[in-house]
Amino acid sequence: MITERLETQKECTKKENCNMMQSLINTQIWLSRTFDKLLPEKYRIDGNQDFIRSFVPQYLKPNLKIYDIGGGKNPYLSLEKKTELGATIVGLDIDANELQHAPQGIYDEVVCADITNYKGHQDADLVICQALLEHVKDVEKAFASIASILKPGGIALIFVPSRNALYARLNLLLPQTIKKQLLHTIYPHTKRLQGFPSYYDRCTPKDFHTLAKQYQFDLQEERFYFISSYFSFFFPAYLLWRIWILGFHLLFGTQSAETFSMALKKI
């Protein structure tokens, strides 16, 4: 009985400490978000959310054949929207388990393959590639595969974090186990979607322009974003990082973007 009580007390103390830590982190995040309200709007646009809510929808038309690359169990389109558009969706992912756990009926076809090795059939009207290419070791090969998937006139919609971002540089320096533990401890909600190894190979706007020309893509649209949440758990660090972003942008323009989106049309 005494042992059980001690164990219970330990668990309660551990839980209280975790709750206190999470409360402290939440306060720091609130301070970071409050500070951001002082900055111009272009420095406050969340790239991932803009890609989902604004960038992609303008390219969605009825009866398209869409390849969702790297979407796995979290494809871009909902089943309701797919039905509304009459879309045919092919899910392409390196992880078969991810594809198996996708919403039932969302994919008309699944392809378990590495995008850097896949040879397509030039049958896609649209490719959606959201936050995948930073996890690919050879982005040039991924571009070649995407080009092989799209029919002439087809469009690739890509969202990617930039290698030039400070968090990307830190990501490349830290061991994967430490990065994953820190990320999931500070931001518990990321356990389901984030924590995969990142390489950021050629993941800069300048490199993407070069690859687009090399693989005969015409740039239709691009957007650049200058915010991420990685340092928001500690406001002093976040403040210094935001000052860095403002200076970096002043000196290097769009190359300083934290994330960016591109719409590339196959010629």
Is 104 a member of any domain?
yes
Is 35 a member of any domain?
yes
| Residue with token string 């356990």 | 191
Is 18 a member of any domain?
no
Which pLDDT tens digit goes with each residue over 240-257?
999 999 999 999 999 999
Whether 219 has a pLDDT exceeding 50, the answer reads yes
Which pLDDT tens digit goes with each residue over 132-141?
999 999 999 9
CATH number for the domain including 99?
3.40.50.150
Instruction: Spell 15-35 as b/e; 16+ CB within 10 A means b.
Output: eeeeeeeeeebeebbebbeee
Higher-confidence residue: 174 or 222? 222
Smallest CA-to-CA distance from 92 within 76, 114, 64, 63 is with 114
Which pLDDT tens digit goes with each residue over 3-22?
555 455 556 556 666 778 88
Which pLDDT tens digit goes with each residue over 156-172?
999 999 999 998 988 88
Output the CA torsion sign for 147, 153, 158, 162. positive
Is 2 a member of any domain?
no
Is 83 a member of any domain?
yes
Q: Is residue 172 within 8 Å of 143, Cβ to Cβ?
A: no
Which residues are CB-neighbours of 128 under 8 A, at least 6 positions away? 56, 66, 67, 68, 69, 71, 76, 157
How many residues comprise the chain?
267
Using CA atoms, how far residue 139 sits from 54, 68, 203, 245, in Å, is 25, 17, 8, 25
Is 8 a member of any domain?
no
Is 110 a member of any domain?
yes
Total domains in the chain come to 1
Sheet arrangement for strand 109-112: 109-112, 88-93, 65-69, 124-130, 150-161, 259-266, 217-225
Q: Is residue 128 within 8 Å of 106, Cβ to Cβ?
A: no
Is 17 a member of any domain?
no
Q: How much is the mean pLDDT over the chain?
A: 90
d(CA 255, CA 204): 7
The range of the structural domain enclosing residue 209 comes to: 24-266
Which pLDDT tens digit goes with each residue over 104-130?
999 999 999 999 999 999 999 999 999
Whether 196 has a pLDDT exceeding 90, the answer reads no
Q: Is residue 74 within 8 Å of 194, Cβ to Cβ?
A: no
Name the token pair of 146.
Answer: 């995407």
pTM of the model: 0.87
